[in-house]
């Protein structure tokens, strides 16, 4: 080309759909749409995909940043949404079945395991509460009723009339069953079957350890799903770590002809009139699309990516119903393998005082993924990832030295408490990394590092959770601040629903 040839600027690239964020919700939306032929662009601010289901590597260890108790990898039914999401773009993942979902270490020596085998779990619980044998069976069997309804039908967008009509005619009884449970909470159902206060506290913990609220505020639909699927599809750990899920989804996305860009932080959602028409990155670059999907939390989407002054009233109302759950202090440990006796379980919950279940640093969560996949650590080492709720307010306004010291103290408190179940832990530590709500906020891009929305007070089950469309035309939300909430399988559900709604709107 001669210097005098006029330069015609390449036309700006436009996409069918831009997805802001590559959490599992965002990636399931993107891959589902790409599989339907849409041209999708995923923009991720971090250097790898996955968000809360991401990973980091240090000194031969590969740590999951968050999730490690994984539902959705079953091989039957319709609720195995991670298996299905991967298959939609020609991918699969080898997983390792976990024989015990959780080993509880609770007050009054209430120590028991949730076995993959349903009867074995019930027997262990009934042995501790023999006078509640009927109630225990009644409650958990009712959870199965919910699950069986869900597991009978294809899980797509409840905002799409065509799908609702079709599914109703195919599965009328299952639909009526779900409608009945939609406004109910697990606590009300539990009290219909169970009277023993200690057992009801246990049911609270069964809910709290994934919903971060007690049974009274935990929707029955979610409880039915979790309390049954752990015995049906089971808990299965992806070989190579949880990060593999996002990496494989990205591989499938690219194979299907769509694109992901890392270090591409969206600053603003561009609107024309009221309609979302694209995004502006922090670099100033503008990219246009027919539809925009935000995988950021609702607080980030409507408080940062859009002008908070023009926040739709539906969002203001949502914020009156839901608040941000705490974040966590997370301690990632590499430990000498001889710390753990043979038969140690992968996931543990520790609480010494029922009154502190919901407190800052009350309940302790533990995952030891190397018991299922030793390749995540150097030889003769295990990973112990432990975390406990903590609010950002406790970590603000600290100078670097004070922040460092506070992190170290918080880690020490956790380690000391864990000595009760892993005697000698302190002396077996080979590697230690501490994350705080500030770390979660920074690396996961989540306001205040929150784990997700929780009801401000008891609500009507899941009825208050928004679906994927928003009050801004052209803009959709996906992920844990949409129906049905937190957890990888739940955000995958929201991804299937979002992609379905967008595909119908685009006429795909």
Chain residues binding ligand FAD by CB under 6 A are 20-26, 43-46, 51-53, 66-71, 265-266, 295-296, 300, 328, 330, 387, 444-446, 451-452, 479-480, 486-488, 491
Task: Give whichever of 131 and 442 is closer to ligand FAD, judged by the CB atom.
Answer: 442
> Torsions phi, psi of 327, nearest 5?
-95, -155
Kindly state the smallest distance separating residue 339's Cβ from ligand FAD, in Å: 22
**CB of residue 328 vs ligand FAD: minimum separation in angstroms?**
5
Output 136 or 217, the one with its CB closest to ligand FAD.
217
Nearer to ligand FAD, 199 or 330 (CB): 330
- Token pair recorded at residue 5: 């040839």
Q: How far apart are CA 211 and CA 219, in angstroms?
A: 9
Bridge partners of 166, per DSSP, are: none
Residues whose CB is less than 8 angstroms from the CB of residue 431 and which lie 6 or more positions away in sequence, other chains included: 58, 59, 61, 332, 333, 334
Q: How far is the CB of 379 from ligand FAD (least distance, A)?
A: 26
Report the nearest approach of ligand FAD to the CB of residue 126 (Å).
27
Distance of closest approach, residue 53 Cβ to ligand FAD, in angstroms: 4
CB of 276 to ligand FAD, least distance (A): 14
> Exposed, middle or buried by CB within 10 Å (0-12, 13-18, 19+), for 164?
middle
For ligand FAD, the closer of residues 224 and 479 by Cβ is 479
Listed in sequence order, the residues at least 6 apart from 501 whose beta carbon sits closer than 8 Å to its beta carbon are 157, 159, 160, 467, 468, 469, 476
Q: Which residues contact 269 (CB under 8 A, 6 or more apart)?
A: 20, 276, 278, 279, 292, 294, 301, 305, 306, 472, 475
Burial of 169 (0-12, 13-18, 19+ CB in 10 A): exposed
Nearer Cβ to ligand FAD, position 45 or 151? 45
> Whose Cβ is closer to ligand FAD: residue 88's or residue 136's?
88
> What minimum distance in Å lies between the beta carbon of 207 and ligand FAD?
14
Residue indicated by tokens 């009934």? 126
* Least distance in angstroms from the C-beta of 170 to ligand FAD: 28
Tell me the closest approach of the beta carbon of residue 43 to ligand FAD, in angstroms.
Answer: 5
42 DSSP β-pair partners:
19, 260
Nearer to ligand FAD, 49 or 135 (CB): 49
Nearest one of 300, 216, 213, 220 to 21, comparing CA atoms = 300
94 in Cβ contact with 239 (< 8 Å):
yes
Widest distance between CA atoms in the chain: 92
* Choice between 194 and 366, CB closer to ligand FAD: 366
Task: Give whole-number Cα distances, 227 to 39, 210, 489, in Å.
Answer: 38, 11, 13
Residue placing its CB nearer to ligand FAD in the complex, 145 or 268: 268
């Amino acid at each position: 080309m001669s210097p005098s040839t006029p330069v015609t600027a390449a036309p700006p690239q436009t996409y069918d759909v831009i997805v802001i964020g590559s959490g599992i919700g965002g990636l399931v939306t993107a891959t589902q749409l790409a599989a339907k032929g849409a041209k999708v662009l995923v923009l991720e601010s971090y250097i790898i995909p996955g968000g809360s289901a991401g990973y980091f590597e240090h000194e031969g260890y590969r740590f999951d940043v968050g999730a490690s108790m994984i539902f959705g990898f079953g091989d039957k039914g319709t609720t195995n949404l991670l298996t299905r999401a991967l298959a939609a773009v020609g991918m699969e993942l080898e997983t390792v079945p976990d024989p015990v979902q959780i080993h509880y270490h609770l007050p009054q020596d209430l120590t028991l395991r949730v076995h993959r085998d349903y009867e074995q779990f019930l027997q262990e619980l009934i042995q501790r509460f023999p006078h509640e044998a009927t109630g225990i069976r009644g409650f958990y069997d009712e959870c199965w009723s919910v699950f069986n309804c869900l597991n009978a039908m294809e899980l797509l967008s409840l905002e799409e009339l065509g799908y609702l009509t079709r599914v109703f005619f195919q599965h009328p009884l299952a639909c009526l069953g779900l409608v009945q449970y939609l406004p109910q909470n697990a606590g009300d159902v539990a009290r219909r079957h169970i009277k023993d206060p200690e057992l009801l506290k246990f049911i609270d913990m069964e809910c709290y350890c994934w919903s971060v609220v007690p049974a009274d505020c935990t929707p029955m639909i979610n409880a039915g799903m979790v309390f049954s699927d752990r015995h049906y599809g089971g808990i299965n750990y992806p070989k190579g770590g949880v990060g593999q899920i996002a990496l494989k989804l990205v591989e499938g996305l690219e194979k299907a002809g769509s694109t992901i860009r890392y270090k591409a932080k969206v600053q603003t959602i561009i609107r024309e009139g009221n309609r979302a028409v694209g995004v502006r990155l922090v670099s100033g670059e503008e990219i246009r699309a027919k539809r925009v999907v935000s995988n950021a939390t609702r607080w980030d989407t409507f408080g940062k990516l859009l002008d908070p002054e023009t926040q739709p009233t539906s969002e203001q109302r949502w914020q009156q119903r839901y608040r941000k759950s705490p974040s966590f202090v997370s301690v990632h440990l590499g430990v000498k393998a001889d710390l753990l006796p043979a038969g140690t379980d992968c996931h543990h919950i520790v609480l010494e005082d029922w009154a502190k279940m919901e407190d800052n640093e009350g309940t302790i969560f533990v995952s030891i993924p190397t018991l299922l996949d030793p390749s995540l650590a150097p030889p003769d080492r295990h990973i112990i990832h432990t975390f406990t709720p903590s609010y950002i307010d406790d970590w603000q306004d600290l100078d670097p030295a004070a922040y460092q010291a506070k992190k170290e103290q918080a880690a020490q408190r956790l380690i000391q408490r864990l000595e009760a179940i892993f005697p000698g832990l302190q002396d077996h530590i080979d590697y230690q990394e501490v994350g705080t709500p500030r770390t979660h906020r920074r690396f996961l891009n989540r306001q205040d590092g929150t784990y997700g929305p929780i009801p401000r007070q008891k609500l009507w089950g899941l009825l208050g959770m928004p679906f994927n469309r928003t009050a801004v035309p052209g803009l959709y939300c996906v992920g844990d601040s949409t129906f049905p909430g937190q957890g990888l399988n739940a955000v995958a559900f929201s991804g299937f629903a979002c992609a379905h709604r967008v595909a119908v709107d685009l006429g795909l």
